[in-house]
Amino acid sequence: MASPIRRWFNSLSALAVLATGAYSIYWLFERLLRQLNTMTTDNGRAVVTAAAAVTASVVTVVVGKVWEQKVKLREELHQRKQPVYEAQIHLLLSVMSASRAGQESPSEAQIFQAFREFTEKRNVST
């Protein structure tokens, strides 16, 4: 376990990095705005338009990739869980229809064991 001084130092270091990053971003935007104010109107408009187009393109691509990844992960998770749920439904239907079909239904111990396995497989594949 880290000592209190070490944790305090780590927290202070993280705060210093965040403050430096925030100040750098502020400085960058301040310089950018100062530069835009000294440009002629047409050049300023062109720079702002180009920056907006680049920003919109980057945001669109990033959001699209994140959404694509989420859909892919959701589909993979569905494919892994589907056999578990199918086996679970098969067991439930066999228990419910065993008495009607004149078959022997699974014992209580077998049912508990099956549900334990289903729960384990379902939680592991999450």
Residue by residue, pLDDT tens for the chain (126 residues) are 568 888 888 899 999 999 999 999 999 988 888 887 787 778 878 888 888 899 999 999 999 999 999 999 999 988 888 888 888 888 888 888 877 767 777 788 888 888 888 888 877 765
Query: Can you tell me the distance from the alpha carbon of 124 to that of 83, in angstroms, rounded to the nearest whole number?
Result: 13
Task: Give residue 21's pLDDT.
Answer: 93
From residue 41, how far is each of 30, 31, 50, 80 by CA, in Å? 18, 17, 14, 58
Q: Where are the domains of the chain?
A: 61-126
Q: What integer pLDDT is reported at residue 98 of this predicted model? A: 75
pLDDT score recorded for residue 106? 78
| Contact present, 78 and 86 (Cβ < 8 Å) | no
What DSSP character marks residue 89?
Answer: H
As given in the structure block, the two tokens for residue 46 are 């062109």
